[in-house]
Structure 1
Amino acid sequence: MASWTHPMEKLNNVTEFIFWGLSQNPEIEEICFVIFLFFYLVILLGNFLIMVTVCQGNLFKTPMYFFLNFLSFVDICYSSVTAPKMIMDLLAKNKSISYAGCMLQVFGVHFFGCTEIFILTVMAYDRYVAICKPLHYMTIMGREKCNKMLLGTWVGGFLHSIIQVALVVQLPFCGPNEIDHYFCDVHPVLKLACADTYIVSAVVTANSGTIALGSFVILLISYSIILVSLWKQSAEGRRKALSTCGSHIAVVIIFFGPCTFMYMRPDTTFSEDKMVAVFYTIVTPMLNPLIYTLRNAEVKNAMRKLWSRKAFWEASGK
């Protein structure tokens, strides 16, 4: 494996990392470029459409849509940390990233990824209260409580990512500098450190694994309680609740499955890792708007009203 080093005064003499990317085959890279550019545009447009619909369609006052709005915002940010660079690299001969850029990617991936996990967990709690304690819903899920929970998701994501970056930054890198991935993540970067990374890797796995698995278990328990309590409701109430919960459960499975596979194991990398990473950095943020709009009558109605109002304004403007 080729190494690229540059003499610097400090121990860390690697100033950039080289990505191997998704493929070394130019023809496959060109096909991937078209596919992932389309996916990224769908992520931006789909999530932006949900944000506009929630804010303009008077849904923002409802706790579920309050959190859905921020989930869409996090999805845009999360995919934007890796997707634009990956898409550009598919057509570039030199797939390089600076050391600082690499550390920023590690921070961004874990900050927005962890925040998304916490928002999904809070949304599960919101559904639990709405279905299991409907009479107390507006009292329990007041705006002040929602704001505090939202702040908690951002603070939790920030603390998690700062720990991850702090563990990586203190390690020396002296070459080789080639990463068998399409973005900087903790485990692929740790493999290049010129030091024993066993303890750091164990702490990273414990940190990420606890958050991913812990949140997943909480979500499973929440939705199990919800599904059990639904049998006591009327057929119409059950159908409406299942429609909403079904979309949440689909998002949770699609997002947490790959995340748990990646971060619940020790410092080992598999050839499948890149495709699994594509799933939670690009595919999930793209599917979220589709899942939430296709299975949610309120969002669809709000969109219809929004666009019919827009069409009316345009017509009257003429």
Structure 2
Amino acid sequence: MSLLSATPDTRYADSLRLSVAPMMDWTDRHCRVFHRLLAPGARLYTEMVHANAVIHGDRERLIGFNPVEQPLALQLGGSDPAALAQAARIAADWGYDEVNLNCGCPSDRVQAGRFGACLMREPELVADCVAAMVAAVDIPITVKCRLGVDEDKDYEVFAGFVDRQAQAGAAMVVVHARNAWLKGLSPKENREIPPLRYEWAYQLKRERPQLPVVINGGIATVEAAQQHMQHLDGVMLGRAAYHDPYVLHALDCAQTGQPLRGREELLLALRPYVEAQLDAGLALKHITRHLLGLFHGQPGGRGFRQVLSEGAHLPGADWTLLEQALQVTRRQAARVA
């Protein structure tokens, strides 16, 4: 089956076990096609899109996707229940399998718009948003949140926030197991500096066994992910799936029982998609930027990245550049062997 015509061979519910986080400027449609190739059984998420952009913007550019990406969730930003409900209806009409509300992004721009992590201080408003979306569509409405904001250290406050969203109809909660600092830390620092407290997510699941709970934050290995899966309904990989995408493939295979495919085999399987996009006028750099980590930690990995980084932006760059990158990788790996 070609990549372009493939459809997921697992039900959407099964994909709860493994997912890839929504990441601004990273998980665009080309990244998601690559991740689907790596992990046929995973659930994928878009970058966050504000509800007003979905309503008023260029929808094909903002929320268009290739059917191969499904099961696929659209992550929305916003805090206006009516606008979020309208955006959710649009998402459902476009064929999305889930709508996820962002209650975890700590950036200044997001705070200024009264959405993202600052919404954890307004559980009733979030519940109104969730209820409005649930009433508007038949697909699942879910919430991605932090443990709290700034100095928040009260588990009961966190659990109360989650309970309120579940009461409003949220079908699942994704817990990024850190606090969000609204002042003094950059978004990057917010992903690294606040300490991880996985035990809060574990406790939440123990006390609410009927609520699907997925964990996110600091998960970088197959072993760590499998440990979390003993306590929770699923794991969501973030930066690890991007910087070392073979981890995503290995974890998907561990979950589905499918045999591991080699890195080179996986890359070659992407060729029909790459060439179709190039024929449609896309510049190669928009795809290859998502592939740089495929040989992460492997002999020849640096050469692979270098060839793509130096050549993908040049006029006329095409699939032959990836073949050149593979050749350099093979030669470097042979010297090490």
Which protein is bigger by CA-based radius of gyration? 1
TM-score (structure 2 length as normaliser): 0.23
TM-score (structure 1 length as normaliser): 0.24
Higher relative contact order at CA 8 Å, sep ≥6: structure 1 or structure 2?
A: 1
